[in-house]
Structure 1
Amino acid sequence: MWKKISHKFEKYPARMNVARKIVDLGLRVDKTGKIYCKDVLISDVALSRSVGVDRRTIKSTVDVILKDQQLSEIFENILPAGALLKNVARSLDFGIVEIEAEAGNPGILSQASGLISAEGISIRQAHAGDPELEENPRLTIITEKPIPGKLLSKFLEISNVKRVSIY
């Protein structure tokens, strides 16, 4: 997806940063040029502070998005991924496994979930970072109970897995 977006902003790094932040946060640009997180209006000022640009850059980025059919189809339909439970998993006695792998290799989620399922553990949540947006994308799996340490070596046996952390 990012390849379809980035070339439209490559001459304007500040606008590129705004577009990246909008995608990263799962914000949506409506037909009137307003920016939303689900049904919550996000002010240009708040977004500009977050990105480190002035609000005119937000406006010009939104203008580019709305004038381009492909961009508007993408940005008008983005939804936030929802709350990732990673930061509260320990407080809830959930398990966490983070897997860093070579980007673009199929089957990692399938194999990891198979290992977890074989232990009789349910998965509460899974989130895979986008390799086009993140330098080191990670697969984060939240489970109903902690993951046994004996699975560490099994996760590392999955093809193209570089690192595994179990919390």
Structure 2
Amino acid sequence: MYINVVKCMWKQIKHRFEGYPSRMYVARKIIDLGFRIDRNGKIYCDDVEISDVALARAVGVDRRTVRATANTILEDEKLRGIFENMMPAGALLRDAAGELDFGVVEIEADARNPGILAAAARLIADKGISIRQAHAGDPELDETPRLTIITETPIPGGLLKDFLKIDGVKRVSIY
């Protein structure tokens, strides 16, 4: 169901930005970062306003492209509804996990296979390890979406082969 909703959303976005690849890059970045656009066209990360210049610099476009993207989104009722309600996912602790003595497992899998997160969580829970965070990359945004799970304690290396047995899993890395 989720994949169908995301594909529908991307079909709508791609349609609106046909012929405007730079605006498409801006829209993709806004979604990737969980930014929202208010009714006045201002862009926010939660309650922090993001300047057009800062976003343009991050995407590698002119600030006018950012403004044009926001205006295009606001002109489309369906897109406006999506972008007005975006929220950032929060800080992913993956890169700080080692300093915190947390564990990290990254799983590259076929996102069309249901139950990958559930099966991975079950393997971790069966070892008595608590999960602090889980983040799944969006298959429409990421060329190789990954499921990243941050755990209270390091993951035993012996679980590597068990993760690889989960249907649809292609690669696993444990840090």
Q: Which category describes the TM-score, using the shorter chain as reference length?
A: over 0.9
Give the structure 1 partner of residue 3 of structure 2: none
Runs of 5+ in structure 1 lacking a partner? none
TM-score (norm 2): 0.94
Which amino acid in 1 is paired with 2:110?
E
Alpha-carbon distance between aligned partners in 1 of 2:69 and 2:14, rounded to the nearest angstrom: 12
1:76 paired to 2:72: no
CA deviation vs aligned residue, 1:40-92 (integer Å, no higher than 9, x gap) = 01000111111111111111111110000000000000000000000100100
Give the structure 1 partner of residue 15 of structure 2: 7
4+ residue runs over 2 A deviation: 1-4
Q: Sequence identity of aligned pairs in percent? A: 68
Alpha-carbon distance between aligned partners in 2 of 1:105 and 1:12, rounded to the nearest angstrom: 33
How many pairs align? 167
Which amino acid in 1 is paired with 2:27?
A
Alpha-carbon distance between aligned partners in 2 of 1:40 and 1:100, rounded to the nearest angstrom: 32
Give the structure 1 partner of residue 131 of structure 2: 123
Alpha-carbon distance between aligned partners in 1 of 2:81 and 2:100, rounded to the nearest angstrom: 38
1:85 paired to 2:93: yes
Give the structure 2 partner of residue 39 of structure 1: 47
Alpha-carbon distance between aligned partners in 2 of 1:100 and 1:106, rounded to the nearest angstrom: 14
Give the structure 1 partner of residue 151 of structure 2: 143
Alpha-carbon distance between aligned partners in 2 of 1:145 and 1:50, rounded to the nearest angstrom: 34
Alpha-carbon distance between aligned partners in 1 of 2:149 and 2:21, rounded to the nearest angstrom: 33
TM-score (norm 1): 0.98
Task: Report the structure, 1 or 2, having the larger helix content.
Answer: 2
Give the structure 2 partner of residue 110 of structure 1: 118
